[in-house]
A and B are shown apart, each in its own frame.
Chain A
Amino acid sequence: MIGTKRVRWVIPCLAAIFLVTEVILPTLVSAQEEVASYIRRYKDREASTGFYEQYEVKPRRMAPLVEVPGVTRGIFPYSPSAAKVRIRTRLADSHWGIKFYERRRCEECHIRETRDIHTTRANLTCRQCHGGEPIASLGHYYSPFNPIRKHAYVCAKCHQGANASYASYIVHSPNPALASTRQAFPVLFYVFWFMVILAGGTFVVFLPHTALWGARELFVKKEKAEGESKD
């Protein structure tokens, strides 16, 4: 009988503990973490908010604070005859209208942007630079990435003293070998291929040259050094 009484007390106690922890502990969220690089777990200084050790939790979906009348939803007349299309380079919320956005991760769409030095080596997660929601389009007037303030709002968080020229460094640099880079970043494309041809040309000449030389000397009697026996 005593055992049954104790069991009766256990259930209300567990319920009370659950309620208290619900109040004290942070709100439960589904697993929305972005794994950061392991090269440098802690940096000398914390660069921004939204970065917690190895994991980053996506913020709750929020409406953009800044709206431009008529273009809130990013519908621009593309041409008088064509259908209206969404131009994402000028939106207050560049991800506006993307279905199931809350449950998606940055790299699902921006896979190439996760493979450069800033992300793979410098241990940066997307939101350390791009910030929380809503993420404005790069061309939006109020975006931290707008070239008029990018150096101060983004680059200078880690690179103190960054100027506007510094901010023109292409963080998500395109693959220099691709034909598409010829349009996007022609200087990089041509310099890359010039260097590849220079290196390739050197090896095309000197690798067979060296191999043939090595092989040819196998068929020549090696001369004896001065003072060595002639036998």
Chain B
Amino acid sequence: MSQKTRIRRFTPVQRLFHLLLILSFLTQGSTGLARLYIASSWGKSLAWVFGGYDACRTIHIYVGIFLVCFFVAHVLYVLTKINWKKLSGPDSLLPRPKDIKDFFQHIGWFLGISKAPEFDRWGYWEKFDYWAVFWGVPLLGATGLLMAYPLTATKIMPGWGLNVALWIHRIEAILAMCHVFIIHFFIVHLRRHNFPMDRAMFEGSADLTATRHERPAWIARLQEAGELESKLVAEAPAGRRAIFYVFGYAAVVVGIFLLIGGLVNSPYITW
């Protein structure tokens, strides 16, 4: 029997949400960039994968609608699971004053002038990533729907609003992609603590020793409450771990491809 060396962090439903978010986000990024860069050979190649310029739009619209629905489903899920009594506690993803303190202490640790902060269950960067989706998806979804159905949209707003919606959509999409492909990928895959990959979001659990090192406040709280043992699980079989690595790195490769291709071909964008 394998040892319980890992601590459970995410439920299967939460992992499914993340998996769907990865797939829909990469599809939206690829089809959106294919259209933005259609004047370049890189953009044409990217569009070819999805069936061409017009097909990219169709896919972008339907996956976008799926993403909005799935976001609404996530909000409903959260509302059913939320523990209202512990809303401001350390298990909540709501920002707390301690997050600001942790952020500055962390910067101090980077510069070698203070001790590393003792993180609890959620780090401030994880909360930022989570809430960024909450402003990103509504903004991209609303502006995207307005542009996808302009005849309907202009019954409730003036046509020039679509000019504004287009720029909100573009800048927010570029912000989201750059954040995920540079910052999120680096933090969860490439920094030394997590290298080669933090499997927590795929496997559902994190290595106990590494967690004890990075999130000592959480482990101490669980030990004090006597809940640590109940949260320990065994590592996934090697075959399943291999799938996690292949899938995770496939997502990274797609992201880096879009990032580098986008930067290199940026002079050919037809705004």
Contact = CB atoms under 8 A, between A and B. Distances in A.
B133 to A, nearest CB: 13
**Which applies to chain B's interface (DSSP): helix, strand, loop or mixed?**
helix
B259 to A, nearest CB: 13
Interface in B156-195: 157-160, 162-164, 167-168, 171-172, 174-175, 178-179, 182-183, 186-187, 190-193
A109 interface: no
Contacts of A225: 5, 207, 209-210
A116 B166 CA distance: 12
A188 B167 contact: yes
B163 A188 contact: yes
Interface stretch (A9-17, A55-63, A66-74, A157-165): A157-165
B221 interface: no
Nearest to A38: B39
Nearest to A168: B159
Contact of A210 (B162, B163, B186): B186
Interface in A27-50: 39-40
Interface stretch (A18-26, A85-93, A96-104, A194-202): A194-202
B175 A202 contact: yes
Given A202-B175, A210-B186, A226 B111 contact: no
Interface string A98-134: 0000000000000000011100110000000000000
Interface size class of B (residues with CB under 8 A): 35 or more
B151 A162 contact: yes
User: Considering residues B109, B112, B168, B171, which has the most beta carbons from chain A within 10 angstroms of its beta carbon?
Assistant: B171
A169 B159 contact: yes
Given A165-B159, A217-B192, A227-B3, A192 B187 contact: no
Contacts of A218: 192
A39 B192 CA distance: 45
Contacts of B174: 199
Given A121-B38, A225-B207, A207 B182 contact: yes
B154 interface: yes
Interface in B213-271: 213, 270-271
A214 B185 CA distance: 12
A170 B161 CA distance: 9
A195 B187 contact: no
Given A206-B179, A206-B183, A212 B160 contact: no
B172 A195 contact: yes
B207 A117 contact: no
A214 B106 CA distance: 12
B122 interface: no
Interface in B37-82: 38-39, 53-54
B270 A210 contact: no
B107 A226 contact: no
Nearest to B150: A166
B86 interface: no
Interface in A206-231: 206-207, 209-210, 212-218, 220, 222-227
B110 A173 contact: no
Given A115-B270, A202-B175, A217-B191, A163 B168 contact: no
A225 B194 CA distance: 11
A203 to B, nearest CB: 7
A39 B53 contact: yes
A223 B210 contact: yes
Nearest to B174: A199
Contact of A223 (B128, B158, B163, B209): B209
B110 A215 contact: yes
Interface string B101-130: 000001101111000000000000100100
Interface of B: 3, 5-6, 35, 38-39, 53-54, 106-107, 109-112, 125, 128, 150-151, 154-155, 157-160, 162-164, 167-168, 171-172, 174-175, 178-179, 182-183, 186-187, 190-193, 207-210, 213, 270-271
Closest 8 CB pairs of A and B: A226-B5, A169-B159, A168-B159, A212-B110, A195-B171, A199-B175, A166-B154, A217-B192
17 contacts: A40-B53, A120-B39, A165-B158, A168-B158, A169-B154, A195-B172, A196-B171, A203-B178, A207-B182, A209-B107, A209-B110, A210-B187, A217-B193, A220-B193, A225-B207, A225-B209, A226-B208
